[in-house]
Amino acid sequence: MVDARSRLKEVYAHPVGRDAIDKVLLQLGRSRGWVRNPVVANLRLGTVARLARPVLGDGFVSSLVTVLADHDDGAARLDQVGAPAQHAPDGAAAPGGVVLAGAEWWREAVFYQVYPRSFADSDGDGIGDLRGITSRLEHLADLGVDCVWLSPIFDSPNEDMGYDVRDYRAVMAEMGTLADLDELVAGCHERGMRIILDLVVNHTSAEHEWFRAAVADPDGPYGDYYHLVPGAPGEDGSGPPPNNWTSFFGGSAWRWVPEARRWALHLFAPGQMDLNWENPQVRAEVAEIVRWWRGRGIDGFRLDVINYISKRSGLPDGNEAIGRLMGFPGIEHYFFGPHLHAYLAELRQAGFTRRSDDPPPASTARERFADGTLGGPLPPDEAGVMVGETPGVGVEMSRLLSNRSRAELDLVFNFDVLDGPGKVRWDDYRYDLAYLKGFYLDYLARTGPGDAIALFYDNHDNPRMLSKVLGAKDRDPELRAAAAKVLATIQLTLPGTPFLFQGQEIGAVNQEFTSVGDLQDVESRNRYAELCETGLSEAVALAQVLPGARDHARVPMRWEPGLTTGFTAGTPWQTGREDSRGFTVAEQTDDPDSVLTYYRDLIALRRAEPALTRGAFRALAPRSRTYFGWLRTAVGGSADWLIEVNLTSRTIRRPRGVPEAETVFGSPGGPLRATLAPYECRVARLTPGNGRTASAAGDSTGADPASSGVITSWSKMEGWSA
């Protein structure tokens, strides 16, 4: 048990403690060397608290100790995570009787996120819909996608674009009908693709029947479905909210509901009411929702902000210093809550796992072979895949949530990759790909048997990574295409499961919005209003919102040139601000040098070559900030592969000692040279005998020669040797 007398190194040895400290260092833009040197590492927490008070304020250490106490078995359980993995055949049970998700097909899959409102509109109303997605399934099948993930399509008043669910068993009217969804599911399965949906169960819409019943009778059974707290003093709401927690969309996380004479918790928009997962009936309701959709053929879910579901009992005030540091007072009481593991394990067993008496699903995906051809329908997966959106967690918490032996989630999104040290999403800066390299090398070096990594950059909640990398040069067609291929190469050939977001395969970039009227997203509009209220001019406030606006990723898909981009026959619900040539699906489909062709070819190679999905991983020149190279070692009789990437917009020299290899494809291609052009990629088949013995010297562009060496972490994950 960690307490104020513990030494800092003891806290850092605890997985939750390490992530908490690493998160603070990342926010401060400081190196981990600060806590790893022997002098600091041996300081007691009480001493650290006094020394760090000017930065961390009072109460930080006590808050940290409380969070670690919630997970006081964390260190011991992490030892179990590092134990040898045991694979179970499809339908069999892993240790502890837990059923694995369809022989873990997702470990080798490529996921593709569709934002339905902006993908394809079939009826001309300007809003994307399910029939529109069905009409474009050939694009996804040709791309080589294994699983389609839909952002919310459930019935919703759309205060937050579907992330406020009114009815979990109905489709929102503008998206279509249940019959349309059934047709889409069958269409995906027929093309050898699985399909998962977004499930938002940290909160519901205020218009959900549960919340309406809770408001009508807050002391009745549904009152305990939510966090409803009487006012103090009195019952008129004139007093302060129950605690100092703030909403991610601005302002207090509480709203007074006069009909119920209660305060109601909402970590997001005022109409997104947080569910009380301490109530076992809530957990049973969620499990039944999952089972209902699994019966219709849905292969799993991406679980929205799922790590927020467990709130600390009593909902105490958040530490003000932590609130200033992380941006949201109270976050330490729910970002990795005390009962999170138990709730997830229960949901997996009660909702995601098939029972012996369950009828077969409406359909299952056809088997897809290494050459892309299709076989017959696969047997039903014994467990649906569980993908967790887990903002705020670090590498060790990610492992605690998703390692095979834990029987909780299958994959999680670790958002620390999206912004560099000391930066947040709203900052206007150039993202350094050297940070991305370091992030993934560190992640891989810390993984053990049964761990899995979700590889992603773009999604519906973040600006385009391509624009963050290129900045003002993101409209340069040559640099744009080259950098897009760099991101594709890293994402599709590193160990892990790639998650693409619509438009990424054609090199989508941020939009040139010019006014707050261009923005549709509630978060950006609220942030703009709050900044204006502080006295900032409208122009300055807009400049502080645009870099992180979610609207950049939510504009309609660019299928073809023109004002409506082939998305709709009507007026798009959100207008894109881009007229660049060469960056639509139609323009890139038959272009052998296009970003789309590169994605298509690389995904096909990934499927055909087991080394690129299951092979061991070895990093070359790991300390270089300009060069990213790695080897993927053969499995069985497959080939070994060398992948090289120039992380910069300038020509660099390749490191000495890289093994000879035959280039299969890359950008700009051509014969092997001593240099790599700006954002050049190279995917090459190793000459027999070179891959397993090669080691690369330090980058000759200036890296310390001591950086020579390899990282063999991936070989630990599945018991392979590099």
Q: Kindly state whether residues 192 and 325 are assigned to the same domain.
A: yes
Quickly tell me which residue has 């600060």 as its tokens. 34
**What is the spatial distance between Cα 623 and Cα 629, in angstroms, rounded to a whole number?**
11
Q: Is 304 a residue of the active site?
A: yes
**What is the spatial distance between Cα 31 and Cα 459, in angstroms, rounded to a whole number?**
28
Mean pLDDT rounded to a whole number for the chain? 89
At residue 36, the pLDDT reads: 84
Q: Kindly state whether residues 675 and 531 are assigned to the same domain.
A: no
Q: Kindly state whether residues 197 and 209 are assigned to the same domain.
A: no
Residue 52 is assigned to a structural domain of this protein = yes
CB within 8 Å of 517: residues ≥ 6 apart: none
Domain end: 274, 304, 323, which one? 274
At residue 57, the pLDDT reads: 75
Torsion of CA 97, 103, 104, 106, to 10 degrees: -150
Q: Kindly state whether residues 360 and 268 are assigned to the same domain.
A: no
Domain end: 274, 295, 313, which one? 274
pTM exceeds 0.85, yes or no: yes
CB within 8 Å of 184: residues ≥ 6 apart: 130, 131, 133, 134, 137, 195
Q: Kindly state whether residues 458 and 529 are assigned to the same domain.
A: yes
Q: Kindly state whether residues 439 and 342 are assigned to the same domain.
A: yes
Secondary structure of residue 142 in the 3-state scheme = helix
How many domains is the chain built from? 4
Q: Exposed, middle or buried, 438 (CB in 10 Å: 0-12/13-18/19+)?
A: middle
At residue 69, the pLDDT reads: 86
Residue 84 is assigned to a structural domain of this protein = no
Contact 198, 235 (CB under 8 A): no
At residue 669, the pLDDT reads: 61
Contact 414, 451 (CB under 8 A): no
Q: Kindly state whether residues 266 and 316 are assigned to the same domain.
A: no
Q: Exposed, middle or buried, 38 (CB in 10 Å: 0-12/13-18/19+)?
A: exposed
In 536-692, where do the E strands start and end? 616-620, 627-633, 641-646, 652-653, 661-667, 675-676, 681-686
Domain that holds residue 634: 613-718
CATH assignment at residue 260? 3.90.400.10
At residue 46, the pLDDT reads: 84
DSSP string covering 413-441, please? E-GGGGS-TT--TT------HHHHHHHHH
Q: Kindly state whether residues 533 and 661 are assigned to the same domain.
A: no
Residues of the chain falling short of pLDDT 50:
82-102, 692-722
Q: Kindly state whether residues 187 and 220 are assigned to the same domain.
A: no
Residue 97 is assigned to a structural domain of this protein = no
Residue 100 is assigned to a structural domain of this protein = no
Residue 668: asked if its preceding bond is cis (omega within 30°), the reply is: yes
End-to-end CA gap in the chain: 38
Residue 550 is assigned to a structural domain of this protein = yes
Rg, C-alpha atoms of the chain:
25
Secondary structure of residue 374 in the 3-state scheme = strand
Q: Kindly state whether residues 581 and 454 are assigned to the same domain.
A: yes
Residue 55 is assigned to a structural domain of this protein = yes
Q: Which of 19, 160, 304, 474 is catalytic?
A: 304
CATH assignment at residue 698? 2.60.40.1180
Q: Kindly state whether residues 115 and 252 are assigned to the same domain.
A: no
Q: Kindly state whether residues 440 and 503 are assigned to the same domain.
A: yes
Q: Exposed, middle or buried, 91 (CB in 10 Å: 0-12/13-18/19+)?
A: middle
- Eight-state DSSP code of residue 473: G
- Pairing verdict, β 154-155 and 167-171: antiparallel
Residue 605 is assigned to a structural domain of this protein = no
- Pairing verdict, β 681-686 and 661-667: antiparallel
Nearest Cα neighbor of 438 from 11, 13, 26, 110 is 26
Residue 453 is assigned to a structural domain of this protein = yes
Contact 261, 218 (CB under 8 A): yes
Q: Which of 19, 129, 174, 389 is catalytic?
A: 389
- The CA-based diameter of the chain, rounded to the nearest angstrom, is 79
Count of residues for the chain? Answer: 722
CATH assignment at residue 532? 3.20.20.80
Domain end: 531, 553, 587, which one? 587
